[in-house]
A and B are shown apart, each in its own frame.
Chain A
Amino acid sequence: MTARSDGLQRFLLGLVGIGLFLGMWQVIGVYRLAGLTWPPLTDVLVFVADPSKRTLFARAITASFIAVVTGYGIGVIAGIALAMLGRVATVLKPGLDRLIAVIHAIPLVALAPLFMVAANRDSTPASIAALGVFYMIYVATTSGLNAASAAHRDVFTALGASPVTRFLRLELPAALPDIVSGMKLAIPVAFIGAIVGEWFGASRGLGLLMVSAMQNFQIPLLWSAVLIVTASSLALFGLMSLVERLTYGRYQ
């Protein structure tokens, strides 16, 4: 009962926060407090909803979403798979950890030009997204696979569990909360990766739209693209937060 009203209160406070933010955006825009490059929220919304822009946005959104989804999917699968490999083939683990840390230490942006020349330019956004997501998921899964408590490990030892049984029935379920948390945090990473990849000259997408709007001083277009990216990323992040709550309720 109180837990529920607590949750409701948090939700309402969250709504108030978002409302305040949007209100300030509008006020700053209407009174030109931040100069001409800051349009009011309503102008941006009108621009996004303008039927004549529909095909432009639809094309860009489709391209960016395919990049985000592909990069995210590949990153998640590869991250979980390699973390599991490190768990099963323990000889590989230290090497794997080091290699992945080194890859992560290189700024993704610095790798983008390499992708452009090495791979197809249109696969650069998804590749950069995948690399960022992969690192997060690898780290989350690796720590998750260590999350089972000592008491639970003892139960499996006393029951005479084989390594495979222990992995499937203990370590993997115990890792789920960490994996899902990683998947939540990886959502903005996938968006950043895809947008940055598109800046480097993909042939379509919201990132490309941003760059060309900036260069041509199309302020409402620029803001519209930013708004669409931010709103989608936040919405998916919120969805994953919900999944995360369910997982924690069940697996911890």
Chain B
Amino acid sequence: MTVPAIRLDHVGKSFALDGGKQFTALSDIDLSIGKGEFVALLGPSGCGKSTILRLVAALEAPSTGKVSIEGADPQALSRSHRLGVAFQDHALLPWLDVRANVALPFQVAGKKVDSARVAELIRLVGLSGFEKARPRQLSGGMRQRASIARALALQPEVLLLDEPFGALDAVTRRQMNVELQRIWSAQRITTLLVTHSVDEALFLADRVIVMSGRPGRIIRDITVPFERPRKPSVMRDPAFHQLVDELTLALEPEGEAE
């Protein structure tokens, strides 16, 4: 096998709490993601999904084990501007309008801003007409979409999305899922998506990883069998329903025990 795009080699992460105690957020996470693979992370709140993303983005260092990206240190990826991240809390800069926020990665990378690409991304996430709006003038869902556009700006090799559609209504969420699949299919970005929606995970991902909490560990690793490109109608497939049931069960506290 070739070198995986993302590799978490028996990774553990603990945080020092006030009072000197250690809190184990992740224990023995072993995960390999192939180049161009789309992996979804499911799990209860607080099980360490965001922490995994932060480890891959080199925003945290593992306490045990090793994280590598294409065999190299994960910092190499962000340093060479090949990483796209949309954080759970959008983190747009309040003093820049939508267009400038989406263009920020170009400026940070010292590249000329590709205005056509910026405009195209804003259109893709459905924010046309809001180019000049500041983040505070947008709804939560619109901010999330702007932050996805920013993550995609430089055509990254690795894309990390932390509950990017959490604040969207069902219809917009579906539209965004379709768009995201289209973008991913066109560029085959290695993608790690955190979501609380089983439907979304199954619709978008090649593989779904289910985690349980305290300490966070992987309890399931399911390959999604559906053909691509997937149409929303795949969600009416009986096989889809069966996987939804299986994953939902795995997510329930009793599901851990089996």
Contact = CB atoms under 8 A, between A and B. Distances in A.
A2 interface: no
Contacts of A158: 57-59, 78, 83, 85
A170 interface: yes
Interface string B70-83: 00000000111101
B94 interface: yes
B108 interface: yes
Nearest to B85: A158
A208 B124 CA distance: 68
Interface string A165-178: 10001100100100
A61 B27 CA distance: 72
Nearest to B84: A158
Interface string A143-173: 0000001011011111111000100011001
Contact of A165 (B59, B83, B95, B107): B107
Nearest to A166: B108
A154 B78 contact: no
A152 B134 CA distance: 16
B78 A159 contact: yes
Looking at B57, B89, B94, B110, the one whose CB has the most chain A CB atoms below 10 A away is B94
Chain A, interface size category, equals 10 to 19
B107 A160 contact: no
Contact of A169 (B58, B89, B91, B104): B104
A208 to B, nearest CB: 44
Chain A contact residues: helix, strand, loop or mixed: helix
Looking at B94, B104, B108, the one whose CB has the most chain A CB atoms below 10 A away is B108
Contacts of A251: 94-95
Contact of A151 (B57, B89, B108): B89
A98 interface: no
A251 B95 CA distance: 5
Contacts of B107: 165, 169
B87 interface: yes
B83 A160 contact: yes
Nearest to B105: A159
Chain B, interface size category, equals 20 to 34
A170 B96 CA distance: 11
B109 interface: yes
B59 A169 contact: no
Given A159-B104, A160-B109, A165-B108, A152 B93 contact: yes
B91 A170 contact: no
A55 interface: no
A156 B59 CA distance: 11
Interface string B24-54: 0000000000000000000000000000001
B87 A155 contact: yes
A252 interface: yes
B162 to A, nearest CB: 11
A250 B96 CA distance: 9
Contacts of B83: 158-160
Interface in A216-252: 250-252
A159 B152 CA distance: 11
A155 B160 CA distance: 12
Given A156-B108, A160-B81, A151 B59 contact: no
A250 B135 CA distance: 10
B109 A159 contact: yes
Contacts of B104: 159, 169
Nearest to B78: A160
Contacts of B94: 250-252
Given A173-B93, A252-B94, A155 B79 contact: no
Contacts of B85: 154-155, 158
B15 to A, nearest CB: 14
Contact of B87 (A151, A169, A170, A250): A151
A177 B94 CA distance: 12
Contacts of A149: 91
Interface of A: 149, 151-152, 154-161, 165, 169-170, 173, 176, 250-252
Given A152-B91, A169-B108, 16 more contacts: A149-B91, A151-B87, A154-B57, A157-B58, A157-B59, A158-B59, A158-B78, A159-B104, A159-B105, A159-B109, A160-B78, A160-B81, A160-B108, A160-B109, A173-B93, A252-B94
22 contacts: A149-B91, A151-B91, A154-B54, A154-B85, A154-B91, A155-B91, A156-B108, A157-B57, A157-B78, A158-B57, A158-B59, A158-B78, A158-B85, A159-B78, A159-B104, A159-B105, A159-B109, A160-B83, A161-B108, A173-B95, A176-B95, A251-B94
List the 7 closest A-B pairs by CB distance, nearest first: A151-B91, A159-B108, A158-B85, A160-B78, A160-B81, A161-B108, A251-B95
